[in-house]
Chain A
Amino acid sequence: MWKMKGLKDKEYVGFAALPNQLHRKSVKKGFDFTLMVAGESGLGKSTLINSLFLTNLYEDRQVPDASARTTQTLTIERRGVEIEEGGIKVKLTLVDTPGFGDSVDCSDCWLPVVRFIEEQFEQYLRDESGLNRKNIQDSRVHCCLYFISPFGRGLRPLDVAFLRAVHEKVNVIPVIGKADALMPRETQVLKQKIRDQLKEEEINIYQFPECDSDEDEEFKRQNEEMKGSIPFAVVGSCEVVRDGGTRPVRGRRYSWGTVEVENPHHCDFLNLRRMLVQTHLQDLKEVTHDLLYEGYRARCLQSLARPGARDRASRSKLSRQSATEIPLPMLPLADTEKLIREKDEELRRMQEMLEKMQAQMQQSQAQGEQSDSL
Chain B
Amino acid sequence: MSKGLPEARTDAAMSELVPEPRPKPAVPMKPVSINSNLLGYIGIDTIIEQMRKKTMKTGFDFNIMVVGQSGLGKSTLVNTLFKSQVSRKASSWNREEKIPKTVEIKAIGHVIEEGGVKMKLTVIDTPGFGDQINNENCWEPIEKYINEQYEKFLKEEVNIARKKRIPDTRVHCCLYFISPTGHSLRPLDLEFMKHLSKVVNIIPVIAKADTMTLEEKSEFKQRVRKELEVNGIEFYPQKEFDEDLEDKTENDKIRQESMPFAVVGSDKEYQVNGKRVLGRKTPWGIIEVENLNHCEFALLRDFVIRTHLQDLKEVTHNIHYETYRAKRLNDNGGLPPNKKLCTSLKRSGEGFILKCWEQVSHRQLVLTSDPSTNWGCKSSSRTGG
Contacts and interface: CB of A to CB of B under 8 A. Distances in A.
Interface in B179-202: 179-191
A114 B317 CA distance: 52
A153 B95 contact: yes
Nearest to A160: B133
B217 to A, nearest CB: 10
Contacts of B181: 40-43
A181 B208 contact: yes
Contacts of A156: 99, 131
Contacts of A184: 282-283
Given A178-B211, A256-B287, A157 B131 contact: yes
Contacts of B286: 256
Contacts of B184: 63-66, 69
A256 B294 contact: yes
A220 to B, nearest CB: 26
A66 B133 contact: no
Contacts of B278: none
A252 B210 CA distance: 11
B1 to A, nearest CB: 34
Interface residues of A, number: 46
Interface stretch (B41-49, B68-76, B151-159, B242-250): B68-76
A178 B134 CA distance: 25
A255 B190 contact: no
A257 B286 CA distance: 8
A157 B183 contact: no
Interface in B90-142: 93-95, 99, 131-136
A158 B70 CA distance: 13
A200 to B, nearest CB: 12
Interface stretch (A102-110, A286-294, A297-305, A362-370): A102-110
A122 interface: no
Interface string A181-202: 1011110010000000000000
A149 B230 contact: no
A173 B280 CA distance: 29
Contact of B281 (A183, A189, A255, A263): A183
B183 A259 contact: no
A42 B213 CA distance: 14
Interface in A248-263: 252-260, 263
A161 B134 CA distance: 12
A257 B213 contact: no
A151 interface: yes
Interface residues of B, number: 49
Q: Which of B223, B280, B282 has the most CB of A within 10 A?
A: B282
A294 B287 CA distance: 51
Given A151-B69, A153-B70, A253 B283 contact: no
A104 B135 contact: yes
B187 A102 contact: yes
B133 A158 contact: yes
Nearest to B135: A104
A64 B181 CA distance: 13
B314 interface: no
B25 interface: no
A181 B187 contact: no
Residue of A69, A103, A178, A181 ringed by the most chain B CB atoms within 10 A: A181
A149 B207 CA distance: 13
A329 to B, nearest CB: 28
Contacts of B185: 65-66
Interface in A27-50: 40-43
Contacts of A189: 93-94
Contacts of A157: 99, 131-133
Given A153-B71, A181-B208, A253-B213, A63 B284 contact: no
A282 B187 CA distance: 40
A152 interface: yes
Contacts of B208: 151, 181
Given A107-B134, A158-B133, A178-B211, A258 B187 contact: no
Query: Which 3 A-B residue pairs are closest in the complex by CB-CB distance?
Result: A42-B181, A257-B285, A256-B285
19 contacts: A42-B180, A43-B181, A63-B184, A66-B186, A69-B187, A70-B190, A104-B191, A105-B136, A106-B134, A149-B179, A151-B73, A153-B71, A178-B211, A180-B210, A181-B180, A183-B280, A253-B213, A257-B284, A266-B283
Given A107-B133, A184-B283, 16 more contacts: A42-B183, A65-B184, A67-B230, A103-B187, A104-B187, A105-B135, A106-B133, A106-B135, A151-B73, A156-B131, A157-B131, A181-B180, A183-B282, A186-B93, A254-B285, A254-B287
